[in-house]
């Protein structure tokens, strides 16, 4: 039997967003909001998540197979045997669905503004509405 993994997503992999195709054959276990221990920043078309923050983050949890996990690792720039060169680091986080893999951004936070709502979907919907109002 093939190994299965739980993965928590908070950005472009969420339902209805541009990278969700990676998860279209995976089972959605549910959604949850984390404790206020993270910081979410806007990196353009996707967010970065940092530990040791003060924001609760909206997440979706999926059950994935090994192939899908490898595809997500590749998308996130995660290199298992060289975390120093990884864009994101895959870490285990606690969720209501059990221990789950999540991806923590592996670059300095810099001057990027935190997304105080902790909700990437809400943030990009608002951002897109502002862009359309400027037209």
Q: Which of 24, 51, 66, 76 is catalytic?
A: 76
CA distance 42 to 74: 20
Encode pLDDT of 76-96 as tens digits.
999 999 999 999 999 999 999
Model confidence band, residue 133 (pLDDT cutoffs 50, 70, 90)? low
pLDDT beyond 80 at 1: no
Q: How many CA atoms lie within 13 A of 2 on its CB side?
A: 9
Which structural domains are found in the chain, ordered by start?
Answer: 4-133 (3.10.490.10)
Annotated catalytic, 76? yes
Segment holding 61, helix H or strand E: strand 58-65
CA distance 94 to 38: 13
Q: Taking Cα atoms as reference points, which of 91, 81, 22, 13 lies closest to residue 51?
A: 91
- The per-residue pLDDT for 111 is 86
Is 51 or 110 the better-scoring residue by pLDDT? 51
């Amino acid at each position: 039997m093939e190994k299965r993994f739980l993965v928590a997503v908070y950005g472009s992999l969420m339902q209805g967003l541009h990278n969700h195709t990676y998860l279209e054959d995976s089972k959605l276990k549910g959604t949850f909001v984390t404790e206020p221990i993270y910081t979410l920043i806007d990196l353009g078309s996707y967010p970065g998540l940092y530990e040791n923050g003060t924001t609760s983050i909206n997440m979706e949890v999926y059950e994935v197979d090994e192939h899908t996990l490898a595809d997500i690792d590749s998308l996130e720039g995660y290199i298992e045997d060289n975390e120093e060169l990884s864009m994101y680091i895959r870490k285990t986080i606690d969720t209501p669905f059990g221990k789950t893999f999540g991806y923590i951004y592996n670059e300095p936070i810099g001057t990027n503004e935190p997304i105080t709502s902790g909700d990437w979907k809400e943030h990009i919907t608002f951002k897109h509405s502002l862009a359309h109002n400027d037209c």
